[in-house]
């Protein structure tokens, strides 16, 4: 007895138990707390009903058991009871709809937002466009491949880290316009209590007003293909001043990128840069070693395109190939990135074509 | 004598309508006693049930609409 007690105590005090949180998050916004409170209210109503219904049921089963000589009664109907158990749940449902409607109306009130951001789901990355700021970037998974294939220890944010996080200001109402480019995705950040389907051709709206700066993580939550589990969401909430600085930095970076695109790079520079671009943008399908997946994704090594005419090679990366999984990368990659990855694919992964292309030659 | 017959006739008509409305309401929540069901099938008139059904549907729609308006008022 005392052994079992000690075991139970030690289990309860194990920190691992904290990971076994089954309830939803309270979140970090006024709205998420409102949703949490509603959830708890409905939960307790369900608990009370459950205890009452099962209590009566189990009591009846026990009290009127066969071994005590209970004999089943044969009767056809009891209209009073039937009306009671139909009308009472209806009243409970209507009563629950009142606070639920209040919360839903808050959730759908996307008016008077300070910042508007379009979120587009791609296979398998997110694109963030700041509608008032001319800021537009893609957010790719940044977990190293070694961790994914169990060659190194997984970090705490394993598969929940990206190269470019979505940055939003604290204490401002931020409106998200959620859509998709290829298949249905769903943008989900549990701490914001925001989970919105991203559907091609539709724009769904959500909003958030976070009080505290911090980093909040989420995932795609609509099965969207091979790398569905590899397109996380990371949102960095900055103080207002930091956010303004970030916006200024992004604009300066854009100018610098345009400047870089007009410069010529050496073969080595292009290949070095191209390797990073390849691993981030291409290796998901064509595989890190360029061998592809036979029957699904063609190999880059020895491919007719990657070893053939360079213009056709550039074209398939810029415009994609209709009817296949090959996307158009003109909006996802800069001219420098495209020039680098084309040069890399032609002169690495087992290919030795020997030619290269400069960013200035990429027509998007 | 004549007046008495008219009275009986009109009270019978009211009874038919009240019964039909009750039966329609019972059907809305899926509960009906066997006695009432047999009575409706033996003595009820089809047209009365159709009209009562349409009427109750309209009342149901209006009450849902009213309820939603009430909740919205309460919420805002």
Tell me the per-residue pLDDT of A131-175, one tens digit each, with 9 for 90 and over.
998 899 999 999 988 899 899 999 999 999 999 999 999 999 999
In whole numbers, what is the pLDDT of chain A averaged over residues?
Answer: 90
The verdict on a CB contact (< 8 Å) between B31 and A82 is yes
Residue A274: burial class (beta carbons within 10 Å; 0-12, 13-18, 19+): buried
> Of A13-22, A67-76, A247-256, B2-11, which gets the smallest average pLDDT?
A13-22
Chain A with chain B: Cβ pairs closer than 8 A: 28
Q: Where are the domains of chain B?
A: 2-75
Confidence of residue A245 (pLDDT cuts 50, 70, 90): very high
Bridge-based pairing state of the strands A115-122 and A174-180: parallel
Query: What are the chain B neighbours of A102 within 8 Å (beta carbons)?
Result: 74-75
> Residue holding tokens 């390849």?
A278
DSSP A29: B
Query: What are the chain B neighbours of A94 within 8 Å (beta carbons)?
Result: 67
For residue range A349-363, list pLDDT tens digits in order.
999 888 888 988 887
Q: Which of A193, A292, A198, A182 is nearest to A235 (CA)?
A: A193
Orientation angle between helical segments B46-75 and B2-28, nearest 10 degrees:
50
Confidence of residue B5 (pLDDT cuts 50, 70, 90): low
Confidence of residue A79 (pLDDT cuts 50, 70, 90): confident
The fold of A23-65+78-109 is: Helix Hairpins (1.10.287)
The verdict on a CB contact (< 8 Å) between A77 and B33 is yes
Task: Please answer whether residues A40 and A47 qualify as being in contact, where contact means their C-beta atoms are separated by less than 8 angstroms.
Answer: no
Instruction: Give the C-alpha distances (Å, rounded to integers) separating B23 from A43, A104, A273, B15, B33.
Output: 36, 36, 78, 12, 9
Question: What architecture is domain A115-245?
Answer: Sandwich (2.60)
Q: Which of A38, A39, A11, A36 is nearest to A26 (CA)?
A: A36
Q: Per DSSP, which regions of A91-203 are E strands? A: 115-122, 125-130, 135-139, 166-169, 174-180, 185-189, 194-198
Task: Please answer whether residues A120 and A180 qualify as being in contact, where contact means their C-beta atoms are separated by less than 8 angstroms.
Answer: yes
For residue range A99-119, list pLDDT tens digits in order.
898 899 999 999 999 999 999
Closest residue to A98, CB basis, from B29, B31, B71: B71
Q: Tell me, what's the ipTM?
A: 0.77
Closest residue to B33, CB basis, from A79, A101, A102: A79
- Identify the pLDDT of residue A20: 78
Q: Where are the domains of chain A?
A: 23-65+78-109, 115-245, 262-361
Question: What architecture is domain A262-361?
Answer: Orthogonal Bundle (1.10)
- Identify the pLDDT of residue A1: 44
Interface of B with A (CB under 8 A): 29-34, 67-68, 71-72, 74-76
């Amino acid at each position: 007895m005392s052994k079992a007690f000690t075991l139970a105590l030690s289990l309860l005090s194990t920190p691992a138990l904290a990971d076994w949180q089954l309830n939803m998050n309270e979140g970090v916004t006024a709205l998420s707390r409102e949703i949490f409170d509603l959830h708890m209210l409905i939960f307790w109503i369900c608990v009370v009903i459950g205890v009452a219904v099962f209590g009566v049921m189990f009591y009846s089963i026990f009290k009127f058991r066969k071994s005590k000589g209970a004999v089943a009664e044969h009767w056809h109907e009891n209209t009073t009871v039937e009306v009671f158990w139909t009308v009472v749940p209806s009243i409970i449902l209507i009563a629950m709809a009142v606070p639920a409607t209040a919360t839903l109306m808050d959730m759908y009130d996307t008016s008077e937002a300070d910042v508007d951001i379009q979120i587009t789901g791609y296979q398998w990355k997110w694109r963030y466009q700041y509608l008032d700021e001319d800021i537009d970037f893609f957010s790719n998974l940044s977990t190293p491949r070694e961790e994914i294939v169990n060659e190194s220890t997984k970090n705490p944010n394993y598969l929940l880290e990206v190269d470019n996080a979505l940055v939003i200001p604290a204490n401002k109402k931020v409106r998200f316009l959620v859509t998709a480019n290829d298949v249905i995705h769903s943008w989900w950040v549990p701490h914001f209590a925001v989970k919105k389907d991203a559907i091609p051709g539709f724009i769904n709206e959500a909003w958030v007003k976070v009080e505290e700066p911090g980093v909040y993580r989420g995932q795609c939550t609509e099965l969207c293909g091979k790398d569905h589990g590899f397109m996380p969401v990371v949102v960095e909430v900055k103080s207002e001043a930091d956010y303004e600085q970030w916006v200024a930095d992004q604009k300066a970076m854009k100018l610098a990128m345009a400047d870089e695109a007009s410069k010529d790079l050496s073969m080595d520079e292009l290949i070095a840069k191209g390797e990073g671009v390849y691993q981030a943008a291409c290796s998901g399908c064509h595989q890190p070693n360029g061998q592809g997946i036979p029957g699904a994704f063609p190999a880059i090594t020895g491919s007719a395109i990657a070893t053939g005419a360079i213009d056709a090679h550039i074209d398939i990366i810029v415009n994609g190939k209709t009817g296949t999984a090959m996307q158009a990368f003109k909006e996802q990659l800069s001219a420098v990135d495209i020039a680098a990855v084309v040069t890399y694919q032609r002169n690495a992964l087992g290919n030795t074509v020997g030619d290269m292309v400069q960013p200035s030659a990429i027509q998007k | 004598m004549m007046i008495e017959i008219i009275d009986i006739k009109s009270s019978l008509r009211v009874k038919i309508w009240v019964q039909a409305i009750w039966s329609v309401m019972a059907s809305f929540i899926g509960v009906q006693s066997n006695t009432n069901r047999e009575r409706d099938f033996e003595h009820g008139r089809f047209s009365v049930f159709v009209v009562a059904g349409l009427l109750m549907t309209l009342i149901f729609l209006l009450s849902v609409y009213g309820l939603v308006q009430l909740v919205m008022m309460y919420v805002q």
